[in-house]
Structure 1
């Protein structure tokens, strides 16, 4: 995880496996950055200079707000609004979301909006894993990305098992695995550079 303060005062928290391209100083009418991966933005207010986050084919436009963008894969892009409002443009469609909503853009351009628990988007920024009723496969993908390890499900039935999980990221992988195994949903261990789920 990495925090960047842009020249306009905007704070950006980058999650594991993420890249952000930005100018050293914003000099144009629009403040444009490009993201691969996931980032949490606290955008400095400037009504005359919209802030734009580009991710592949998706563009998120704001004036001053807090939101999270997850774009690890073109087939599963999420924009989650914490406060303020954002406009999301993708594949010729445009949608405005309100706080507490997550806009999902699929590879075919379809957009869906749903209400979400905002805690998970704020917890990762503060150094925690927080998953609320998510499939174990999604939880382990996120943990694997953070610790730079692969994930192999030998017990495929465990993939869809829903879990509630909270752990400090900086306690290390062994600590995280101990907590995961205490839930007794599956046996998870590290073999080489891979999390194996039995």
Structure 2
């Protein structure tokens, strides 16, 4: 077994050149060593996870993790892993990591987090940046950022509070736009087959659209809405309302029912069918707190417009009266 203190230093990015060489040689000595470091890195990368885990689930998840991976390790080694391991296991997100070697030098780990429909998650990146991920979202990020920028890739929706570092711009890549910042708070929504929306809460960001052919500088409470067919549109919005999903709230102001339905499907993991096509473009306004169930939200919508809904197992059908 590799020296545990050196492994911890490696995970903390504080190894000396000689220690890095030792870790590299140990990894290349056998596939088992490499797999073991994969497991450690998966856990360590989420040790600051902010998701709310129940104590009972923590103990159960940790016992399973310990039994599978750490039968023969010291209590010192296990102590620093315990809560990191259970937070990794307890948030029900999919994670995979891989390591890249070049000329016998460890260069980068890349982690991928996938948040299932009906769940939310949050984490702290290695630079201190906080990220909240909405349901049905995926984030790719390196364990150790590069020396010239901090780049992540997003599919879905995320809210970022970026640690300021003028020498290392923070870049969020999506399929439609790139967002570049130094230090700020902003929301990005980029689900497949939907408009991409970038909303600024604090600071300043640059949004590059259409492969960099168009660039916009956003100020607080401004939003860029981009789609391939329509291009980009700059709007004035309430950024606090846009990011209220991070606390579990849902807030819609003059939103088309078609958009609201997509949000509810992701939040509650249900299928919703709008039976009358003309209803899809009807706009609604409502606000619900984290504790509200889907029936409560649908009843709020009923108070706004004349519509009705019925349940059929895991499907909800919305129609006119």
Structure 1 residue ranges without an equivalent (≥5): none
Aligned equivalent of 2:130, options 6, 11, 14: 11
Equivalent residue in structure 2 for 1:25, among 121, 133, 144: 144
Q: Does 1:111 align with 2:211?
A: no
Q: Mark the CA change 1:151 to 1:79 in structure 2 (over 3 Å): closer, same or farther.
A: same
Helix, strand or coil at the partner of 1:8: coil
TM-score by length of 1: 0.91
Distance 1:7 1:164 in 2: 38
| Partner Cα separation in structure 2 for residue 19 and residue 57 of structure 1 | 15
In the aligned structure 1, how far is the partner of 2:215 from the partner of 2:298? 41
Query: Match for residue 41 of structure 1?
Result: 160
Shift of 1:74: 5.4
Residue 163 of structure 1 aligns to a residue whose secondary structure is strand
Q: Is the 8 A contact 2:285 2:301 kept in 1?
A: no
More strand by share: 1
Pair 1:124-2:245 in alignment: yes
- Mapping for residues 1-198 of structure 1, pairs under 5 Å: 1-73=120-192, 76-91=195-210, 92-108=213-229, 110-198=231-319
CA RMSD of aligned residues (A): 1.8
- Superposition deviation, residue 87 in structure 1: 0.5
Once residues 185 and 82 of structure 1 are traced to their aligned partners in structure 2, the CA distance between those partners, rounded to angstroms, is 34
Other structure's SS at 2:142 match:
coil
Q: What TM-score results when the alignment is normalised by the length of structure 2?
A: 0.58
Please say which structure displays the higher CA radius of gyration.
Answer: 2
Counting matched residue pairs gives 198
The whole-number CA distance in structure 2 between the counterparts of 1:80 and 1:32 is 18
Structure 2: gaps spanning 5 or more residues: 1-119
> Is the Cα–Cα contact under 8 Å of residues 176 and 227 in structure 2 kept in the other structure?
no
What is the CA distance between 1:189 and its match in structure 2? 2.8
Tell me the distance in 1 between the aligned counterparts of 2:178 and 2:278: 37
User: Larger relative CO (CA 8 A, sep 6+): 1 or 2?
Assistant: 1
- Displacement, 1:75? 5.3
Task: Provide, for residues 25-46 of structure 1, a one-character-per-residue CA deviation record: whole Å limited to 9, x for no partner.
Answer: 2232100000000001111111
Q: Indicate the structure with greater helix content.
A: 2
Q: Are the aligned partners of 1:120 and 1:132 in contact in 2 as well (CA < 8 Å)?
A: no
Q: For 2:226 and 2:182, how far apart are their aligned partners in 1?
A: 21
